[in-house]
């Protein structure tokens, strides 16, 4: 799937994913899960088919930005703890399940 960031006239940024059948799906972007929690955009977009949802999940894994809590848990460590890794996975899933994309 092709991915592209698009800035709308209102100043908001969205990730556009083009599926293999040519359909384009738009997802609002969030810097991290804390940004998502304070966003009024959550739940604005309807659910999409599996293909773009899978691509959104891959995008979010590649562009993950840790929350302050994860950063605090991993600070000064050479390897993250299991608890920190679980929290990272939860944050990625939360952003994806709310049809949002992490910002590069």
β-bridge pairing 24-30 and 101-102: parallel
Identify the pLDDT of residue 43: 47
Identify the pLDDT of residue 63: 95
Tokens 């049809």: give the residue: 99
Taking only the tens place, the pLDDT of each residue in 74-103 is: 999 999 899 999 999 999 998 988 888 998
Q: What residue segments make up the domains of the chain, in order of their start?
A: 2-102
Tokens at 30, concatenated: 């969030």
Taking only the tens place, the pLDDT of each residue in 19-78 is: 888 888 888 888 778 776 555 554 455 566 777 888 899 999 999 999 999 999 999 999
Identify which of 56, 49, 66 has the alpha carbon closest to the alpha carbon of residue 28. Answer: 56
């Amino acid at each position: 799937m092709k991915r592209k960031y698009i800035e709308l006239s209102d100043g908001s940024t969205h990730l556009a994913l083009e599926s293999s059948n040519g359909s384009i799906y738009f997802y609002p972007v969030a810097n991290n899960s804390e940004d998502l929690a304070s966003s009024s955009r959550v739940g604005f977009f309807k659910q999409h088919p599996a293909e773009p949802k899978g691509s959104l999940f891959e995008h979010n894994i590649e562009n993950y930005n840790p929350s302050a809590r994860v950063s605090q848990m991993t600070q000064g460590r050479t390897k993250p703890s299991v608890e920190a890794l679980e929290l990272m996975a939860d944050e990625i899933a939360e952003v994806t399940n709310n049809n949002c994309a992490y910002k590069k």
